[in-house]
Amino acid sequence: MAAVETTRPKAPLIYNPKARGIAYQLLLCALILFLAWSAIHNAAENLARAKIATGFGFWDNTAGFDISQSLIEYSTTSSYGRAFWVGLINTLLVAALGVVFATLLGFLLGIARLSRNWLVARMAGFYVETIRNIPLLLQLLFWYNAVLKALPGIRESFVIPGGGFLNNRGLFLPQPVFGPAARFALIALLLGVVAAIVYRSWARRRQMATGQQAPVLWVTLGLVIALPLAVLALSGWPVTFSYPESGRFNIRGGIEVLPEFMALLFGLSIYTAAFIAEVVRAGILAVAKGQTEAAYSLGLRPGLALRLVVIPQSMRVIVPPLTSQYLNLTKNSTLAVAIGYPDLVQIFAGTVLNQTGQAVEVIVITMAVYLTISLVTSGLMNLYNRRMALVER
């Protein structure tokens, strides 16, 4: 055999399809890289010729402007870099809370739309069709103006029992301040969480083995909530509250929730929930009817059949489009700029860009950040999806 092969004339490399393919692709890669390089080079040169400042040196310069909401230390003397982090954290905050609320509301609505109760199903249908057919920007402006107009002025605040205020400047709540002894309660909380997880898995294994059920919910609540509270009480309540107080113009102290934040969170959650509801409905309908019927014939009540049989199977249909909705919500949070919520786009791609004039750098950073957030989100959802997906044996 070997003798036969050696006698065959060796074809030139150009006729080898594999080699040719590799060559073409190398060529394409080189072309793309060249285009990228020349564009960057051109831009840098043109910016320099127009005497427009370039580079990332602005990062450490003093920002000099104020930001209405900041979860980290920030003042007008902080740097542009600090302002970037403030904006990023504000974006992540509203996106994360928005995802949670939109998911809860969306699942509820999706299931309600399939309800056998005519009124419930129609109301859910009406919600979905109305909300998802109105542009989000209009909804945000509506919520913002509704929040501002509906809430009373600062002098006529609603007083929330326990020392809180609600007015058109925001929601003001007492802020708990923990004394040093509170760390015992924190330790108790952590222990409680660990114990609850262990208990749940024990209860599950026992149910699998013997069919006996354990009161999981009550024990979990007891471990996670009652235990730390008990420890707190034993250590003599080392918690004081810092109450919001009215100043000459504004309310100071305590926890402050801005109306811009509330409007954005409301708007994003309500809007995205309409889409999630449809995703959930599609997922549930995708589970074969026989599964439900089989569950009923085993004697499961409708609620249990939904929870134990239908939803787990529908998750593999729900998760991929759900990921898209999460990504949409995160990206839609950039509409914050319209209602004055200080998110990344408003602070960084807005004020910082304008004050420094370095559009190329600022926009590149902003785009890279949203790309990273989106890739991380979809990466996590893909991990979850892999766990949920049908395991074929």
Q: Kindly tell me the sign of the dihedral angle through the C-alpha atoms of 116, 120, 123, 127.
A: negative
Nearer to other proteins, 56 or 237 (CB): 56
Do 243 and 69 touch, CB atoms closer than 8 A?
Answer: no
Alpha-carbon gap, residue 61 to 7, rounded angstroms: 73
Q: Which is nearer to other proteins, 62 or 207 (CB)?
A: 62
Q: Rank residues 117 and 354 by Cβ distance to other proteins and give the closer one.
A: 354
Residue 253 Ramachandran class (φ > 0 left, ψ -120 to 50 alpha, else beta): left
Tokens read off for 253 = 């102290």
* Distance in Å, CB of 31 to other proteins, minimum: 10
Q: How many residues does the chain have?
A: 393
- Candidates 302, 233, 279; CA nearest to 381 is 279
C-alpha span between 156 and 78 (Å, rounded): 35
In the bound state with other proteins, the residue whose beta carbon lies nearer, of 99 and 344, is 344
Min dist. Cβ of residue 53 to other proteins (A): 4
d(CA 81, CA 87): 10
Q: For other proteins, which is the closer residue by CB, 104 or 371?
A: 371
Q: What letter represents residue 316's amino acid?
A: R
Kindly tell me which of 45 and 129 has the beta carbon lying closer to other proteins: 45
Where does this chain bind other proteins (CB under 8 A)? 21-22, 25, 28-29, 32, 35-36, 39-40, 42-44, 46-47, 49-53, 64-68, 76-77, 145, 148-149, 153-154, 168-169, 247-250, 252, 259-260, 337-340, 342, 346, 350-351, 353-357, 359-360, 363-364, 367-368, 371
CB 54 within 8 A of CB 48: yes
**Distant-in-sequence, close-in-space partners of 191: CB < 8 Å, separation ≥ 6:** 227
